Amino acid sequence: MIELRDAAYDYGGGGLALRGLDLSLAPGSFHFLTGPSGAGKTTLLKLLYGELRPTGGAALLFGSDTRAMDRDGVSDARRRIGVVHQDCRFLDHLPVHDNVALPLRVAGGDVASRADDVAQLLGWVGLGARMHARPPELSGGERQRAALARALVMDPDVLIADEPTGNVDWDMSQRLLTLLAELNRMGKAVIVATHDLALIRAAKAQVAARVLRLSGGALSAAGADL
């Protein structure tokens, strides 16, 4: 569904470049992306969902090369991709329910007719009782689960999560991992960027995950000790 083919990205200004990136996110696949801080994990994820376009090689979203796609084409493809950002990016003046429903509104959907679906989704991530709270009232774990719900509201084929457990405790990390594993069993492709090697080890009991390491601008399979 999403592919990098010998993809490269040049930051310019002497920054570390990504190069020779080959990756395929097939339906039902689960990938972890790890590597040192500053290695370019977020940049790689942005190539996968079309926010950045490679400066060499190709990034394909559902068969189309992003370098040949116009803004509307990229926007249409991204409706099939859910993204959980590091900073959540909520509108603090809106309640959680409305924040989760925002992608529906942006896509021109009938938000009122989908209110029950949004409520059910919030219930699935354990926030049914918090749907009328505003983002500043949520704990770190609640914010991450709300961000996951928002990423799923368009029923995407692919879920991309950038450090989704970076600001939560171990118990909440495990809860988020369980939700991600459930999504994967439903056939969605999942890729999670994380520094948490303990989380990756724990995931082996729930999903058949491929672990990739980004270092020195190159992507490789992580060691068997993970």
What is the CATH number for 187? 3.40.50.300
Q: Which domain-ending residue is among 155, 180, 201?
A: 155
Mean pLDDT of the chain, nearest integer? 91
Looking at residue 225, its pLDDT comes to 56
| Residue 42 exposed, middle or buried by CB count within 10 Å (0-12, 13-18, 19+) | middle
Question: What's the rounded mean pLDDT across residues 95-112?
Answer: 89
DSSP 167-189: TS-HHHHHHHHHHHHHHHHTT-E
pLDDT value at residue 160: 96
End-to-end distance of the chain based on CA atoms, in angstroms? 26
Q: Which domain holds residue 62?
A: 1-80+157-226
Checking if the pLDDT of 136 tops 60, the result is: yes
Residues 8 and 58 in one domain: yes
User: Rounded to whole angstroms, what are the CA distances from 132 to 22, 83, 95, 176, 215?
Assistant: 43, 22, 5, 21, 42
pTM over 0.85: yes
Question: Which of 109-118, 144-153, 178-187, 207-216 has the weakest average pLDDT?
Answer: 109-118
Residue among 126, 193, 125 nearest 164 (CA): 193
Average pLDDT over residues 199-219: 91
What pLDDT, on a 0 to 100 scale, did the predictor assign at position 165? 83
Q: What is the separation of C-alpha 145 from the centre of its chain, rounded to a whole number of angstroms?
A: 12
Of 139, 155, 171, which residue is a domain's last? 155
pLDDT at 111: 81
- Per-residue pLDDT of 66-93, as tens digits, reads 999 999 999 999 999 999 998 888 999 9
Residues 200 and 103 grouped into a single domain = no
R_g of the chain computed on alpha carbons: 17
Q: Which amino acid is at 134?
A: R
- Structurally, how many domains does the chain consist of? 2
145-161 pLDDT, tens per residue? 999 999 999 999 999 99
